[in-house]
């Protein structure tokens, strides 16, 4: 009887805990990681760090001084090769971060090349290596597949033009920072997740003091929902033509303002004089390039020229391009590759062919092409994001419905600035969502 009751008392909680952990592993990997994965991985890392680094080829011969000290002060005859020094170990809700000081003879690329071996040695889902400053790298381990069900980290980078859009596979937020990467291109096949990406971007931008301008020549099917937060919208190539002229006019006026104050870009102006930043969202860019008649051709050439001018010059005037499409290559016609070269931020979802993957990331991060081609078709929203720094990573946006994005735009309609030069393109607002306009420039310190 006593044996049976002991079995119940000890066995039941054990079985319950094991069952709970098994359930959490599948249904709540974040909880499982915090309760079991993190402690186990931390111990595993601490116990076999030196051996792992040794077998992964990440140790170097010690300096002569160190060898001398080991032999003569520590009185040890054998002088072992040294691994990178562990400077910091920090657990997160998705993984483990380890800062390493690299010894002379090792470079970040050596550690990155071993990341697959380290991942297996420590039994984690992924290991990403990031150089934090010269001589230091951070190993960003994730304990589970964070892209399976995206939850954005609570702590996010901030700045005047920073928008968190998606989650990287190392568990950090992927942000669009318009001051660092002013213009960007998003590519992807049908149903690959481009609209979801745009929705997340618009939802983030809608909360900032910026003007949003939409060009959606699919009769506005994507952008109409954002109307309360748009300062201008073009839904046909004819309207896009006029709108782009208006934007170039706006840019030239801003250059006059910069010249009058002797500064190089709008962020150097005092806040009360600074024109509101403008983000131009172009959906399905191929629609601007397609021509049926000779007259269309003239319009196309004009639009492409204006877009290239904006791409080349508008950053200083605080006008940023966010272009989206299925493909963007020389087959679209004159000016396509010149425009693409200006769009240095790249996000490439699943594509149908190698050529499109190369159009997307081949010029900025050639080693990312294979990863784009391997993006799983059954997981829409996963993409490769990179820029001209050569750095890239796999990302996935959180799910956001069109209705939720539209609701965010309506809730922030009062932030929609008037752009007088584009007033003719101000979209009609659905009833009940009328925006109260704010002035073109930020309020002066006296009135703020
Ligand atoms: N990050 C994501 N997480 C989960 N599901 C997603 C994600 N992104 C997209 N999807 C789903 O994939 C499908 C296609 O997404 P979306 O409409 O964004 O693709 P698209 O590339 O814009 O397609 P199209 O070019 O045909 O308009 C939708 O059902 C959407 O809900």
pLDDT value at residue 333: 78
pLDDT value at residue 157: 66
Q: Assess whether 81 and 43 both reside in one domain.
A: yes
Q: Assess whether 93 and 203 both reside in one domain.
A: no
State whether the beta carbon of 41 lies less than 6 angstroms from ligand 1: no
What is residue 209's three-state secondary structure?
coil
Measure the CA–CA gap between 407 and 433, rounded to whole angstroms.
Answer: 9
pLDDT value at residue 438: 44
Picking from 231, 222, 228, the residue whose alpha carbon sits closest to that of residue 412 is: 228
State whether the beta carbon of 397 lies less than 6 angstroms from ligand 1: yes
pLDDT value at residue 287: 87
Give the chain's count of helices (H) and strands (E). Answer: 14, 14
Whether the CB-CB separation of 346 and 387 falls below 8 Å is answered with yes
The pTM of the full predicted model, rounded to 2 decimals, is 0.83
Report CA(381)–ligand 1 centroid distance (Å): 6
Residue 181 lies in a domain: yes
State whether the beta carbon of 399 lies less than 6 angstroms from ligand 1: yes
Q: What is the 3-state secondary structure (H, E, C) of 234-279?
A: ECCHHHHHHHHHHHHHHHHHHHHHHHHHCCCCHHHCCHHHCECCEE
Q: Which one of 166, 174, 192 would you pick to mutate in the ligand 1 pocket, going by the greatest count of ligand atoms within 8 A of its CB?
A: 192
What is the domain range of residue 407?
162-425
Residue 32 lies in a domain: yes
Burial of 36 (0-12, 13-18, 19+ CB in 10 A): middle
Q: Assess whether 277 and 408 both reside in one domain.
A: yes
Residue 66 lies in a domain: yes
Tell me how far CA of residue 44 lies from CA of 39, 94, 158, 205, in angstroms: 9, 17, 35, 42
In this structure, the residue with its CA closest to atom 25 of ligand 1 is: 190
pLDDT value at residue 158: 77
Q: Assess whether 78 and 185 both reside in one domain.
A: no
Residue 329 lies in a domain: yes
Instruction: Quote ipTM for the complex.
Output: 0.97
Q: Assess whether 96 and 216 both reside in one domain.
A: no
Question: Can you tell me which atom of ligand 1 is nearest the CA of 198?
Answer: 18
pLDDT value at residue 440: 44
Whether the CB-CB separation of 141 and 96 falls below 8 Å is answered with yes
Residue 48 lies in a domain: yes
Query: How many domains would you assign to the chain?
Result: 2
pLDDT value at residue 156: 63
Edge-to-edge strands, sheet with 230-234: 173-177, 162-168, 392-396, 382-386, 345-348, 184-187, 319-325, 278-283, 211-216, 230-234
Q: Assess whether 225 and 364 both reside in one domain.
A: yes
State whether the beta carbon of 194 lies less than 6 angstroms from ligand 1: yes
Q: Assess whether 322 and 397 both reside in one domain.
A: yes
State whether the beta carbon of 188 lies less than 6 angstroms from ligand 1: yes
What is residue 289's three-state secondary structure?
helix
Q: Strand pairing partners for 86?
A: 100
Report CA(194)–ligand 1 centroid distance (Å): 6
Question: Can you tell me which atom of ligand 1 is nearest the CA of 397?
Answer: 1
Measure the CA–CA gap between 363 and 59, rounded to whole angstroms.
Answer: 34
Q: Which one of 199, 381, 398, 402 would you pick to mutate in the ligand 1 pocket, going by the greatest count of ligand atoms within 8 A of its CB?
A: 381
Q: Assess whether 277 and 312 both reside in one domain.
A: yes
Q: Work out whether the CA dihedral 357, 361, 366, 368 comes out positive or negative.
A: negative
What is residue 210's three-state secondary structure?
coil
Site of tokens 């007259």: 295
Q: Which one of 168, 196, 324, 356 would you pick to mutate in the ligand 1 pocket, going by the greatest count of ligand atoms within 8 A of its CB?
A: 196
pLDDT value at residue 111: 94
Residue 41 lies in a domain: yes
Report CA(122)–ligand 1 centroid distance (Å): 34
Measure the CA–CA gap between 197 and 184, rounded to whole angstroms.
Answer: 12
State whether the beta carbon of 166 lies less than 6 angstroms from ligand 1: no
pLDDT value at residue 413: 93
pLDDT value at residue 313: 94
Instruction: Kindly state the helix (H) or strand (E) to which residue 214 belongs, with its residue range.
Output: strand 211-216
Q: Assess whether 268 and 414 both reside in one domain.
A: yes
Measure the CA–CA gap between 84 and 64, rounded to whole angstroms.
Answer: 17
Residue 438 lies in a domain: no
Measure the CA–CA gap between 266 and 242, rounded to whole angstroms.
Answer: 24
Burial of 418 (0-12, 13-18, 19+ CB in 10 A): middle
Q: Strand pairing partners for 138?
A: 99, 130
DSSP code string of 123-189: T-SEEEEEEEETTEEEEEEESS-TTSS----SS----TTEEEEEEETTSSEEEEETTTS--EEEE--
Q: Which residues are annotated binding-site positions?
A: 188-195
Query: How do strand 184-187 and strand 345-348 relate by DSSP bridges?
Result: parallel
Whether the CB-CB separation of 422 and 253 falls below 8 Å is answered with no
State whether the beta carbon of 176 lies less than 6 angstroms from ligand 1: no
Measured in residues, the chain has a length of 448
State how far Cα 378 lies from the chain centre: 21
Report CA(189)–ligand 1 centroid distance (Å): 10
In this structure, the residue with its CA closest to atom 5 of ligand 1 is: 380
445: which 2 tokens? 């310190």
Q: Assess whether 79 and 137 both reside in one domain.
A: yes
Residue 153 lies in a domain: no
List the CATH number of the domain containing 396.
3.40.50.300
Q: Assess whether 169 and 197 both reside in one domain.
A: yes
282: which 2 tokens? 């172009």
Whether the CB-CB separation of 394 and 349 falls below 8 Å is answered with no
Q: Which residues are annotated binding-site positions for ATP?
A: 188-195
Q: What does the pLDDT profile of the chain (448 residues) look like in tens digits?
A: 566 677 667 676 777 777 776 766 666 788 889 888 999 999 999 999 999 999 999 999 877 777 777 777 767 777 778 899 999 999 998 899 999 999 988 999 999 999 999 999 999 999 989 899 999 999 999 999 999 988 888 766 678 899 999 999 888 899 999 999 999 999 999 999 999 999 999 999 999 999 999 999 988 889 999 999 999 999 999 999 999 999 999 999 999 999 999 999 999 999 999 999 999 999 999 888 887 777 788 888 899 999 999 999 999 999 999 999 998 877 777 888 899 999 999 999 999 989 899 988 988 888 889 999 999 989 999 999 987 776 789 999 999 999 999 999 999 999 999 999 999 999 987 665 544 444 444 443 333 3
State whether the beta carbon of 192 lies less than 6 angstroms from ligand 1: yes
List the CATH number of the domain containing 60.
3.30.980
Q: Assess whether 115 and 172 both reside in one domain.
A: no
């Amino acid at each position: 009887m006593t044996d049976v009751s002991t079995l119940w008392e000890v066995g039941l909680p054990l079985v319950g805990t094991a069952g709970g952990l098994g359930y959490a592993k599948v249904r709540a990997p974040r909880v499982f990681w915090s309760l079991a994965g993190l402690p186990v991985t931390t111990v595993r890392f601490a116990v076999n760090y030196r051996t792992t680094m040794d077998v992964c080829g990440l140790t170097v011969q010690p300096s002569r001084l160190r060898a001398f000290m080991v032999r003569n002060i520590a009185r040890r005859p054998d002088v072992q090769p040294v691994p990178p020094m562990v400077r910091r170990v920090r657990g997160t809700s998705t993984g483990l971060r380890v800062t390493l000081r690299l010894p002379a003879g090792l470079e970040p690329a050596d550690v990155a090349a071993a990341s697959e071996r380290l991942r297996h040695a420590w039994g984690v889902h992924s290991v990403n290596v990031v150089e934090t400053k010269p001589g230091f790298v951070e190993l960003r381990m994730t304990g589970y597949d964070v892209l399976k069900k995206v939850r954005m980290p609570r702590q996010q980078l901030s700045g005047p033009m920073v928008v968190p859009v998606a989650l990287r596979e190392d568990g950090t937020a992927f942000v669009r920072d318009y001051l660092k990467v002013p213009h960007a291109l998003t590519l992807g096949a049908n149903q690959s997740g481009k609209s979801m990406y745009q929705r997340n971007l618009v939802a983030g931008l809608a909360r900032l003091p910026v003007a949003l301008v939409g060009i959606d020549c699919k009769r506005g099917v994507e952008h109409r929902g954002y109307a309360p937060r748009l300062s201008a919208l073009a839904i046909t190539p004819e309207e896009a033509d006029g709108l782009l002229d208006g934007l170039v006019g706006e840019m030239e006026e801003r250059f006059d303002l910069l010249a009058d104050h002797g500064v190089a870009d709008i962020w150097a102006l005092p806040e009360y004089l600074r024109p509101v930043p403008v983000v131009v969202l172009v959906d399905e860019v191929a629609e601007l390039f397609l021509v049926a008649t000779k007259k269309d051709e003239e319009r196309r050439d004009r639009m492409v020229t204006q877009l290239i001018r904006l791409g080349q010059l508008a950053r200083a005037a605080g006008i940023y391009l966010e272009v989206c499409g299925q493909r963007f290559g020389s087959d679209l016609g004159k000016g396509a590759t010149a425009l693409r070269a200006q769009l240095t931020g790249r996000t490439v979802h699943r594509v149908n062919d190698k050529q499109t993957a190369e159009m997307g990331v081949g010029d900025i991060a050639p080693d990312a092409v294979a990863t784009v081609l391997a993006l799983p078709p059954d997981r829409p929203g996963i993409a490769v994001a990179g820029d001209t720094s050569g750095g890239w990573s796999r990302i996935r946006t959180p799910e956001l419905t069109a209705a939720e994005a539209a609701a965010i735009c309506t809730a922030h309609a009062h932030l929609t600035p008037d752009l007088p030069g584009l007033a003719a393109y101000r979209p009609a607002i659905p009833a009940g969502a009328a925006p109260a306009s704010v002035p073109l420039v930020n309020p002066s310190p006296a009135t703020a």
